[in-house]
Amino acid sequence: MKVITRFIPIALGLFMSAFVAGAQTPMLIHSHNDYDRAVPFYQAYSQGAASIEADIYYADGKLLVAHNREDIKDSRSLETLYLAPIAWFYRENGGHPYKDASKSLQLLIDIKEDTEPSLSAIVNLVSSKYADVFCNGGVTITITGNRPKPADFCKYPQWLMFDGNIGVNYTEDQLQRVALISECFTDYAHWNGKGSLIPDQEAKVREAIDVAHSMGKKIRFWGGPETLTAYYTFYNFGIDYFNTDIPEQCAIFFSKWGDKNFQIGVKNASEEGVSGTSKLDKVTRNFAGFQHSKLQLSKGIDVYTPTYLNDGANRKIKNVIFLIGDGMGLNQILAGDYANHGLSVFNMKHVGFQHNNAKDQFTTDSAAGGSALATGERHSNRHIAADDEGNPYPSLTDFFADKGLATGVLTLGHMVDATPTAFYGHNVERDDSDDLTVDLLSSKLDILCGCGMGDFVRRHDGRTNLLGELAGKYSVIEDYSKISEQDGRVLCIDRRMDDAADENNLGMLADATRQTIAQLQKLSRKGFFLMIEGAKIDYAGHSMCLPGSVLEMLSFDMAIAEALKFADSNGETLVVVSADHETGGLVILDGDEKTGRIMGLYFGNDHTPTILPVFAYGPHSDEFLGTYMNIDIPRKIRKITK
């Protein structure tokens, strides 16, 4: 026993970084042939497995774990590898197999030879040393392999359960001793886990599931494929236990289920809690996160179909609206499109693609990505509209202001974050929020709207009255709905812009877009330039939260619809939609076209260098076809508006 107690903390140290045992999963995990793991029991336990399997032989009076008799070793006993560790955790957790008292654990023992005396040896060992763990319903021991006949179930203690099969006519008493139904998958279908099953074989699998459930039992198929496709296919079929040889991968897939699935009109699978946001940057670290209870919509958003009357026309451009979805890759757009049965952005016919690598790194951050879109120059990561020596690059707001146009920046996020600052500030450090806010005093920007009051009033540079100084240049307000009521230039710091999108505020960015356009029109008859950022698509990617991404994408698309409507109202407005980078490596795995159900898996929680779509509408929108670097977007805008 001393060896066991020393090994427990070592094993926990190896796997605690991936520990998800407290998380509820929508599909129970069965660690098949668990003794083949690098670290038997602990590897599966650390992933919250609901069932763990061990093959045993009774040899020389010992219960030894092995798949084949020639693999038997005295050091690999059932007690050492499984009974004692389970008992340690059970007692440590105050009478529960896991710290989460709602989680159960089953030890599935496969008797390879001779039902007797193997079964009697199991009963004697458990009853004598571990009765408090296994004999009172705490942890279930289920016998499979060479089981006794159902008629003999009654000869063994009531705490001992048995694996069942379809086609066996159990009596009512015998069925009560059956813990689950286990079937060989290849008896029903031959599938490699790619694509889909042959229809008649799928029907057989589904029928077996229905039979097991009609018996009131959970079902497990062994011998089936283990792929990402198999994970969600078996889940959709209603199989209760996933038979896995890779418990870590399986657990990761089924963990945080509510963050991977979304459907309008359906309650989020995670009813409580917040999706983490620890990867956000300095000025956005106080973001409250995506509240699971709010990650749902009762209905979708309206989709706007443009008139196309001036789309691609060779005529003068008076206004430019540049919409940037922070962290928005093609799959973020696609997820919103599937969920909503359409998006306004996909009604823009002129589409190109942009590479977005930073100057000094293969993968860009928001500073370099946003600055490239603002200035037309490649940037090193962390730099805001400035070269490596700190010399400022003029942005599109400078270009259009010099032409006498009104300029605005609107973000559904923090106005001192990287993307918006790239259009009014200059710095070699994106986190230098003190200097970036001071840049507003010399900026040519007419309207700035977003959240971030703290960076104006809680400062480290000794400046105590920056808002007072800015009040000499702007009307400083805290309500975006009042923007168009002001007489001149506007600085709107609205705390609501920091909230994640939900049912009640989904139209906030679209409303602010209308307000800002109206005010810009008042400020200059020559026209205007407006950058609009959908900031929290990026937040959702950092949080690996698909429902958050869909809601933020729908919010952003509502703003896109407003831009397209305005463009149609005058025929002199160019609308460009793109992103600074993609966040999370989102992959769409599964869905339903009819219901809008969507399942997506994030590769990670940081930026990726994937190519990004560029959508354009209005005069000269055909200039944005093809593939090019991100810096070519502002260069094209400058070229066609000279």
CB count within 10 Å of CB 378 equals 20
Residues 210 and 202 sit within 8 Å (Cβ to Cβ): no
Residues 256 and 58 sit within 8 Å (Cβ to Cβ): no
Nearest Cα neighbor of 534 from 343, 402, 389, 383 is: 343
Q: How many CA atoms within 13 Å lie on the side-chain side of 594?
A: 0
Q: How far is CA 472 from the centre of its chain?
A: 44
Share in percent of the chain as helix, strand, coil (round to 5): 40, 20, 40
Q: Which residues contact 592 (CB under 8 A, 6 or more apart)?
A: 263
Dump pLDDT digits (tens) for 313-346.
999 999 999 999 999 999 999 999 999 999 999 9
For residue 66, pLDDT over 80 is answered with yes
- The pLDDT value recorded for residue 285 is 75
Could you give phi then psi for residue 325, rounded to 5 degrees? -90, 105
For residue 145, pLDDT over 90 is answered with yes
For residue 5, pLDDT over 60 is answered with no
Indicate the SS3 state at residue 178: strand
- The pLDDT value recorded for residue 268 is 86
Mean pLDDT over each residue of the chain, to the nearest integer: 94
Cis peptide before 117 (omega within 30 of 0): yes
- The pLDDT value recorded for residue 278 is 61
| Beta-strand pair 573-578/319-325 | parallel
Nearest Cα neighbor of 219 from 240, 201, 198, 192 is: 240
Nearest Cα neighbor of 160 from 172, 148, 169, 168 is: 148
User: Confidence band (pLDDT; 50, 70, 90) for 12?
Assistant: very low
Beta bridge partners of 582: 608
Nearest Cα neighbor of 382 from 607, 87, 108 is: 607
Residues 222 and 32 sit within 8 Å (Cβ to Cβ): yes
Q: Which residues contact 565 (CB under 8 A, 6 or more apart)?
A: 304
Residues 321 and 573 sit within 8 Å (Cβ to Cβ): yes
Report how far residue 268's alpha carbon sits from residue 194's, in angstroms, rounded to the nearest whole number: 28
For residue 137, pLDDT over 80 is answered with yes
Report how far residue 530's alpha carbon sits from residue 320's, in angstroms, rounded to the nearest whole number: 6
Dump pLDDT digits (tens) for 241-283.
999 999 999 999 999 999 999 999 999 887 678 876 665 777 7
Report how far residue 544's alpha carbon sits from residue 603's, in angstroms, rounded to the nearest whole number: 9
Nearest Cα neighbor of 551 from 260, 257, 262 is: 262
